[in-house]
């Protein structure tokens, strides 16, 4: 270890953190509704996110029905189709994934994993949820206004987003932008909490490099979100003014329905820059917590320390930093200076390096591990495979010459659904199977879980693998129907129909999963303490599920990192972080191995 | 331990290396709220920078017709500087235990901030009276947008100021509200810097 204590430094007792006045709920209302306990807030966030996510799921069914069986569903017209595309994208990326990873898992796991009693600003944390709920309600309200929700595409590019002819260009787009602004305000409140809690409220002995990678992933993702969401906020406010007051921040001189509008001189490209300056880090806001969680799932269920822990931490930080200089690779077809494109193609390819480090380290963590094919492990392995798949097509698309012909085809849809749709969802599902016993004290039903995993995994591949081929033959994305097109073979229609069937089946499997969650909460098998024999602090709480204040009278003291699995010489194959060196149970003395190797080589 | 040392630790080596005894739990030796405010200021810096970049990008276009700068803006700037100065006075007086100066500084800082906001509204009225509407030229739109955003943030600061003042009224010892006053002062300075940058941008274009 590098100089922890300079030799000449006298021992200075560590400055104690003042005990936070832990807030104590007094009534039912402040215990379950207006609650400042991070665990309750986490569950509120998760339920809201999953509820709105189900709306997004149903929307994807409707889209798939239209694409797979055009002309069969008369209630899906062009406008509705565009509204479905837009709302599905927005809901899934922002209101489901971001909220679930940071608001849900962040709130539940950060205080427990770093050994804190709660977040550092519990009141602001509570406010964060209620503002988020407000944002979701405003979003839902946009379904019921005249003209319906906006159909501008999830990127909301001006000028078309606020012009007539785009569905929902009346109240729909305004409510969408207001909802986004609210979401960002709410998120900022929560985000400040997560960052400061990780930095300032760790328990004694929990140095930064002893934190589980889950915390690292959520921590860096939160910093990204704090710095990236302002761009969307700025864009949303300016577009709202364009729509409501008639300013021309983004609106060029333009003719609408044969009539010259009074807009003029605005720059639509400026919005694209603002949007993607948020939009690209957003990919990593969703990916980094996933990276962290999957690392912990792999280590725990393979009974092996994570390979290259420091490298994993640095890779998370490097990916976070690089994610701010790649945004214009989403704009290759918007028209830009070729040198500009060259720059962004280069940075895009560079970001593959730290990402590849992570993938190799996951594989090497499994290498010679004692792999238990539990449900969380299955999902974690499925994540690695899927992420590699989606990541590699990303390398194709990162090159300007490859991106230009493929940009408006189904190939892009397949790529981003693999890499930031299926992959993070697989992590979330794995994480739910892993931490459900902690949250409820009961195990999820294994049979339903196996059904859920295999249908989801194989089904997701039957949806998105063929989509790459559709893209290659030139099937455009965002099209309501392609009808008879010269260069697209008839087999594309058959493939589309198959994809739709797969999508319906995968969606159904998610309903089984939701049923499992509800059913197991009451009827599930009682879980033992620490059922996965994990080392991290959240499993070492005196009660399970953890009570108010997380840890009993005394906060735990951390003596080791989070990955002390299968330590040679120890009796158990795991040593929790809070077990002092003197208390480690040793195995019966064995015959000394020749060579006396005892420490795992690093 | 510096942050660099912390990040190059090898946590897998020895569990019994004295880390527990030496560990200070916090990454920064700051009060938690102070660190929270710093992160908030970082976020707000990004927000305002993005507006400034958009503004600077837009004003290079030929159809940009800059607004006149009413003399009232100079007065408002002076008021905001005074407000920040009063807050700073209150902040330094807390350390010396001069409770009269603290109370006066806080009161003056808040009242001057309200005066600034009223002054900004007057500027808006003058400009609208002269026919500079938000939708008539991008220069106007940016002016109204950024001044409004700055004003809203100052209003938010005044909410915190109100809470700190209430605490101050009920406190017997000014040192009890030390942290609240310090945070208010820092936030005031931050908004002053933002305003000065914005005002400079207006003057030089």
B115-131 burial, b at 16+ Cβ within 10 Å, e below that, comes to bbbebbeebbeebeeee
pLDDT interval class at A601 (50, 70, 90): very low
Euclidean distance between CA atoms A149 and A140, whole angstroms: 9
CB atoms within 10 A of CB A104: 26
A290-329 tens-digit pLDDT: 999 999 999 999 999 999 999 999 999 999 999 999 999 9
Chain A's closest residue to B35, CA to CA, is A196
What was the ipTM of the complex prediction? 0.93
Chain B's closest residue to A266, CA to CA, is B138
Task: Give the residue among A429, A453, A436 at the shortest CA–CA distance from A524.
Answer: A436
3-state secondary structure (DSSP) of residue A301: helix
How far off is chain B from A413, nearest CA to CA, in Å?
A: 30
How far off is chain A from B189, nearest CA to CA, in Å?
A: 21
Angle at which helix A491-523 crosses helix A38-68, to 10 degrees, equals 150
| pLDDT at position A50 | 96
| Residues 48 through 77 of chain B touching chain A, CB cutoff 8 Å | 50-51, 54, 57-58, 61, 63
Q: Is B172 on the interface with A (CB under 8 A)?
A: no
Q: φ and ψ at A476, to 5 degrees?
A: -75, 150
Q: Is A21 on the interface with B (CB under 8 A)?
A: no
| pLDDT at position B42 | 96
**Residue A295 CA: distances (Å) to CA of A224, A298, A449, B54:** 20, 5, 21, 40
Chain B's closest residue to A556, CA to CA, is B20
Euclidean distance between CA atoms B121 and B151, whole angstroms: 10
B132-181 tens-digit pLDDT: 888 878 888 899 999 999 999 999 999 999 999 998 888 877 777 889 99
Would the pLDDT of A134 be above 80?
yes
| Residue located via tokens 């922890």 | A4
Would the pLDDT of A591 be above 70?
no
pLDDT interval class at B117 (50, 70, 90): very high
Q: Is A245 on the interface with B (CB under 8 A)?
A: yes
CB atoms within 10 A of CB A567: 21
Q: What percent of chain A has pLDDT over 90?
A: 79
Q: Do A192 and B36 touch (CB under 8 A)?
A: yes
How far off is chain A from B64, nearest CA to CA, in Å?
A: 9
| Residue located via tokens 């979401």 | A183
| Residue located via tokens 């030390």 | B178
> Which of A560, A570, A576, A585 should one mutate to test binding to chain B, selecting the residue with the greatest count of B CBs within 10 A?
A560
DSSP state of A570: B
Q: Is A1 on the interface with B (CB under 8 A)?
A: yes
3-state secondary structure (DSSP) of residue A95: helix
- Spatial contact of B165 and B113, defined as CB atoms under 8 Å apart: no
Within 13 Å and on the Cβ side, how many CA atoms surround A166?
22
Euclidean distance between CA atoms A187 and B56, whole angstroms: 28
How far off is chain A from B156, nearest CA to CA, in Å?
A: 13
Would the pLDDT of B186 be above 70?
yes
How many residue pairs from chains A and B have C-beta atoms closer than 8 A? 167
Q: How big, in percent rounded to 5, are the helix, strand and coil portions of chain A?
A: 65, 0, 35
**Residues constituting chain B:** 205
* The two three-digit tokens of residue A528, written as one number: 């033992």
- Spatial contact of A376 and A431, defined as CB atoms under 8 Å apart: yes
Give A246's contacts in chain B (Cβ within 8 Å).
134-135
| pLDDT at position B170 | 87
Euclidean distance between CA atoms B2 and B18, whole angstroms: 17
Give A207's contacts in chain B (Cβ within 8 Å).
6, 9, 11, 19, 23
CB atoms within 10 A of CB B60: 8
**Cα–chain-centroid distance for residue A387?**
13
Q: Is A243 on the interface with B (CB under 8 A)?
A: no
CB atoms within 10 A of CB A327: 25
């Amino acid at each position: 270890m590098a100089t922890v204590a300079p030799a000449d430094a006298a021992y200075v007792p560590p400055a104690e953190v003042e005990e936070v006045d832990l807030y104590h709920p007094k009534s039912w209302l402040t215990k379950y509704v207006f609650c400042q306990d991070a665990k309750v807030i986490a569950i509120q966030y998760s339920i809201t996110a999953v509820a709105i996510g189900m709306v997004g799921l149903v929307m994807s069914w409707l889209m798939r029905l239209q694409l797979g069986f055009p002309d069969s569903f008369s209630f899906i017209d062009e406008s509705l189709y565009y509204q479905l595309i837009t709302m599905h994208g927005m809901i899934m990326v922002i209101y489901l994934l971001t909220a679930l990873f940071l608001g849900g898992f962040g709130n539940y796991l950060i205080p427990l994993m770093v050994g804190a009693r709660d977040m550092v600003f519990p009141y602001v944390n509570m406010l964060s949820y209620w503002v988020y709920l407000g944002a979701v309600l405003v979003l839902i309200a946009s379904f019921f206004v005249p003209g319906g929700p906006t159909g501008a595409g999830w990127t909301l590019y001006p000028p078309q987003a606020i012009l007539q002819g785009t569905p929902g260009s009346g109240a729909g787009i305004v409510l969408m932008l207001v909802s986004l602004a609210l979401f960002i305000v709410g998120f900022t409140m929560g985000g400040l909490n997560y960052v400061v809690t990780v930095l300032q409220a760790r328990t004694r002995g929990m140095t930064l490099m002893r934190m589980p990678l889950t915390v690292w992933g959520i921590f860096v993702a939160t910093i990204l979100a704090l710095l990236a969401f302002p761009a969307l906020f700025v864009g949303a406010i300016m577009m709202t003014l364009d729509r409501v007051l008639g300013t021309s921040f983004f609106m060029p001189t333009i003719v609408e329905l044969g009539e010259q509008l009074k807009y003029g001189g605005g720059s639509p490209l400026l919005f694209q820059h603002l949007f993607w300056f948020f939009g690209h880090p957003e990919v990593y806001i969703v990916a980094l917590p996933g990276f962290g969680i999957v690392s912990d799932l792999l280590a725990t269920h393979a009974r092996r320390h994570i390979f290259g822990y420091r490298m994993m931490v640095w890779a998370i930080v490097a990916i976070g930093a690089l994610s701010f200089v790649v945004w214009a690779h989403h704009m290759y077809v918007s028209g830009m200076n070729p040198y500009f494109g060259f720059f962004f193609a280069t940075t895009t390819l560079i970001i593959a390096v730290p990402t590849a480090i992570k993938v190799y380290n996951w594989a090497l963590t499994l290498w010679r591990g004692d792999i238990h094919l539990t449900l969380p492990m299955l999902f974690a392995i499925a994540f690695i495979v899927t992420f590699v798949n989606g990541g590699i097509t990303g390398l194709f698309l990162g090159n300007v010459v490859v991106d230009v012909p493929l940009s408006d085809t189904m190939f892009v849809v397949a790529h981003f659904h693999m890499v930031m749709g299926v992959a993070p969802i697989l992590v979330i599902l794995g994480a739910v199977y892993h931490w459900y016993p902690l949250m409820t004290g009961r195990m999820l039903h294994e049979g339903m879980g196996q059904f859920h995993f295999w249908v989801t995994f194989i089904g997701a591949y039957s949806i998105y693998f063929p989509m790459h081929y559709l893209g290659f033959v030139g099937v455009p994305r965002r099209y309501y129907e392609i009808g008879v097109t010269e260069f697209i073979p008839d087999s594309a229609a058959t493939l589309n129909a198959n994809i739709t069937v797969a999508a319906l089946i995968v969606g159904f499997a998610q309903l089984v999963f939701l049923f499992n969650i509800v059913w197991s909460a009451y009827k599930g098998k009682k879980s033992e303490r620490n059922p996965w024999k994990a080392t991290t602090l959240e499993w070492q709480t005196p009660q399970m599920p953890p009570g108010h204040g997380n840890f009993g009278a005394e906060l735990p003291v951390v003596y080791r990192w989070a990955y002390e699995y299968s330590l040679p010489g120890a009796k158990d194959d795991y040593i929790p972080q809070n077990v002092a060196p003197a208390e480690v149970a040793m195995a019966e003395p064995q015959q000394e191995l020749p060579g006396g190797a005892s420490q795992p080589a690093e | 331990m510096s942050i660099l040392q912390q990040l190059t630790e090898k946590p897998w080596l020895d569990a019994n290396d004295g880390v527990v005894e030496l560990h200070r739990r916090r990454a920064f030796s700051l009060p938690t709220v102070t660190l929270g405010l710093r992160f908030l200021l970082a976020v707000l810096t990004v927000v305002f920078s993005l507006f400034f970049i958009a503004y600077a990008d837009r004003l290079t276009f030929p159809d940009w017709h800059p607004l006149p700068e009413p003399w009232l803006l100079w007065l408002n700037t002076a008021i905001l500087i005074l407000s920040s100065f009063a807050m700073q006075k209150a902040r330094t007086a807390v350390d010396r235990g001069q409770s009269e100066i603290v109370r006066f500084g806080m009161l003056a800082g808040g009242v001057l901030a309200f005066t600034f906001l009223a002054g900004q509204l007057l500027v808006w009225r003058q400009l609208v009276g002269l026919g500079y509407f938000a939708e008539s030229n991008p220069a106007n739109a940016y002016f109204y947008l950024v001044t409004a955003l700055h004003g809203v943030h100052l209003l938010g600061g005044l909410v915190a100021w109100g809470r700190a003042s209430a605490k101050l009224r009920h406190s017997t010892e000014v040192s009890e509200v030390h942290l609240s006053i310090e945070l208010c002062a820092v936030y005031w300075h931050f908004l002053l810097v933002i305003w000065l940058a914005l005002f400079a941008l207006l003057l030089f274009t």
